[in-house]
Structure 1
Amino acid sequence: MTIWILLALVALAALLPLALALWRPRAARGRREADMALYRAQLTELDREREAGRLDEAGHRAARLEVQRRLIAAADQSEALATTARGGGAVLLLVPMMIAAGLGLYLLRGTPGMPSATYAERAAVMARDEQILAMLRARLEALDPQSPQARQGWILLGNAERGRGRSEAAIAAWRRAIEAHFDASLAAEIAELEIERGAPAEATPWIARALTEVPNDPRLRFLAGLVEVESGRPANARALWQALLTDTPADAPWRGMLERRLNALP
């Protein structure tokens, strides 16, 4: 009986931090907030580019659809966090019930003698996933590299590689997509990933090229400043972000984020 009491205490100790975090939720901020703000700003900038005649109707419509897709995805993530926060009190009440249910289920159906997955089994799963991606690469290689199907396939492959934490493979796939058709938003994705992996110098050409197509894009201008920060040039970052702040409308939802980043510079 003593062992079960100890197990219950261990389970309670493991779940207590989660319960406390949900009981006192904090507003979701950070990259998701910045993404949503920048995507909204991109929509406004696309409308300006079309009105100025620098973007045709078809290109404007396609670009808006892509930005709206990303905005909806970011909003869904934020709503999920908000829903979790609102349910914090209920979760706190359910913690003891979760512990009791878990112990009861374990007593009825538990198999403590079952060994964990072996290294060979885990390696087999990884090998299977890699085989699937290899098949996708082979099929993409067989397509016309300039075709829309190949371009979309490379984008999806890059997304999959990024999801697996393989930055270099993701960038390589996205490069193939850009070879078919340059896309400033995809170039921004590559630049952001280069910055994340600690290679700001590699991000610079992508940002520069994308800015030639959409010179007032706030996301690209923000990333340009971020490159300077990561390269140890805060004065340059301040100049770039200050210029961006000057061009930012007073009611822009991402203005506060930009001001905070400016104030955080040394």
Structure 2
Amino acid sequence: MLSFWVVATAITLMVAAILIRAVLKGTKREVESRAASDVAVYRAQLDEVDRDVARGVVAKADAERVHAEIARRLIAADKAQSAEQATSARAPAFVALAVIGVAVLGSVLSYLWLGAPGYGDMALKDRIAFAEEVRLNRPKQEVAEASLPPFVEPIDIDPRYQELLTQLRNTVAQRKDDVQGHVLLAQQERRIGNYIAAKEAQQRALTLKGGDVTAQDLADLGEMQVVAAGGYVSPEAEMSLRAALNKDSQNGAARYYLGLMLAQTGRPDQAFRIWDSLLRAGPEDAAWIPPILGQIEELARLAGVSYSIPAIGGSTERGPTAADVANAQDMTPAERMEMIGSMVEGLSERLATDGGPATDWARLISSLGVLGESQRAAAIHANAVDVFADDKDALELINAAGRRAGVID
């Protein structure tokens, strides 16, 4: 890092020296040319008067008057020359300082704005490895919570509501195995902004539910962990979100916050794909749509994607569903081809032109397997693996579809 600044400083000073030399040289020539011209003219006129007197062309009395006038002008020109030289000496110095100041300040500010002080240029592989290191070593939930100001209950809370909330807290404290009590407490604590207490109540509720925990329960816990950490997706929150997606890969809240985690840990490319698919899937009134709209254009810029926000919920034709594929197996070959074929072709064309989330690629691979088009399924599987090479979750979906289609072991 030190060597970079040494080289940058040396280059800046060299450029500044060249510019200063050019300014000084150009100004000196301009001043000398103008001053020398005036003085040379008057001196030539004096010599001419002396020659006229010697030839008898001009009387001595007239020559003396002319000589005095020219001498007066010569003295004035000489004084003007001295003043111009002094002024021109100051001007280049000011210009030189301005050049140095602008060059140094402009270079530093440009680098601080466009560059990354402290880091060298990294290849894509190195950036991905660095992002993974950041993800694995980021602060834990408790550290993030401890960095925030302690909760203070709102002063404008309704007295009756405050009384009921106090009763609920006391009841839950006495009945530690009351699942519904903890769920209700989590909701009410969140309502007044006591996010850490809400998260703890939700965690207790999930512990009590055991094997009955749903994907939405886990997504709610992950969301409460993120909010309790001030919008930061901790390793603990990531675990909750991934657990939710293991139960329901299409859970919108879990996908949104997982995308947020990827954006926070240096993978805007993966975050962009997740958020873009959420926008396309909709619906418009989903809670995650407004925050995505507020961030996805900047995220696309960081991901190096030229992007225009699509119609929210516009991708309604997502291709054949799992139910469609299952029902098709009970049809005659002709009926199955007629129903699935058109949907598969539409999905294939859309993915080829516009792209789409990993779930759509997986659905297409599975559908082609049902239709017996193994070679085509294998080709699309290979393409999907290239598209989502850096997304472990997406690769798991795509490879699972490949195994169902019989194109990989």
Bigger Rg over Cα: 2
**TM bracket, shorter-chain basis:** 0.3 to 0.5
TM norm structure 1: 0.41
